[in-house]
Amino acid sequence: MTQKLILRALSGETLPTPPVWMMRQAGRYLPEYRATRAQAGDFLSLCYNPELAAEVTLQPIRRYGFDAAILFADILLLPQALGRKLWFETGEGPRMETTTTAAELAALRPAEAVHDTLNPVYETLRILSRELPRETTLIGFAGAPWTVATYMIAGRGTKDQGPAHALKAADRATFAALIDKITEATILYLSAQIQAGAEVVKLFDSWAGSLKGQDFTDFAVKPTARIIAALKRRHPGIPVIAFPREAGQGYVGFARATGADCVALDNSVSADWAAEHVQKDGCVQGNLAPHHMVTGGQALVDETRAIVKAFSHGPHIFNLGHGITPEADPENVKRMIDTVRGG
């Protein structure tokens, strides 16, 4: 049996102390990250510099001793590799050349061509697999097809994913073909990450909550299931974490429907509810509200303990309900970890 705690939890083992890591644990809340990003010049240059991307991935491991390191990259590197122009506006986030017509979809590169652009990401993983402590699990990731599609269609992040919903309603065939294209490319991307050293992969469906009814089944559940099945055929035993953020009742049965080894939970659902309705199907991950990393205090300790207790009767990986924010206090992260591990 493997001794890595996260792999044990993902295999269904209930541990006396849950392993812990944190979404966006390499990021702007850390002064050492800000220094490395300044050295890189800009965000995309950092993503595509294997030595510096590995360095920022390692920084929170050195500082806190998390049980996992997650590859430093961005979900929009994949559509960039498919041929869409990508840039970041300071203070505003990503901008992307849009894909909204059958002609624009046809102009995308073949899925197999993504490796030409993404080889630096694989090199980052190879560096990390050599340099991480032996007890630390290496997690690779990609955006889930629906979430990636929302950016490709709108050219930016949107509050309600309106442009993607509009295309889905007006030209469902083109929309579905785009989802298929992203799905195919994601399988190849994550497979290459596993070959480069990732021991677990995670699918981030950040905007899954805006899909309702049959659309949730068609564009959140089915693409995730297709990706997981393909990865497990290629890499038997590889664990997959799925994060259909703000899925609400959609979390129930998500692991069974997709084959995911773990369902990551946002903080809009309570740990007690999720323990009853979601954890019965296997490992869950989550779900402390990220604002506790800013505000700290006894509320952080109390809520952390409550989550650990709620999930203590089944496999659990402690994490936030979403990524840590830039204004978080690094000392609050330490307090959270100490609370998880020390009671």
Active site residues per annotation: 24, 28, 37, 74, 151
Q: What tokens does 122 get?
A: 């694989």
Strands 283-288 and 316-320: parallel
Q: What's the CA gap between 19 and 338, in Å, rounded?
A: 12
| Close Cβ partners of 99 (under 8 Å, ≥ 6 residues apart) | 79, 84, 105, 108, 152, 153, 178
Which residue, among 61, 59, 60, 56, has the nearest Cα to 73 in the 3D structure?
A: 56
- Residues 137 and 127: their CA atoms lie apart, in Å, by 14
CA geometry: angle at 206 spanning 151 and 46, to 5°? 65
Using CA atoms, how far apart are residues 196 and 333, in angstroms rounded to an integer?
29
CA–CA gap between residue 264 and residue 287 (Å, rounded) = 8
Give the separation between CA 296 and CA 313, rounded to whole angstroms: 27
Query: Number of H helices and number of E strands within the chain?
Result: 17, 9
The residue with tokens 């950016």 is 151
Closest CA to 20 of 55, 56, 90, 70: 70
* Single-letter code of the amino acid located at 209: G
* DSSP letter (8 states) at residue 337: H
Contact 210, 247 (CB under 8 A): no
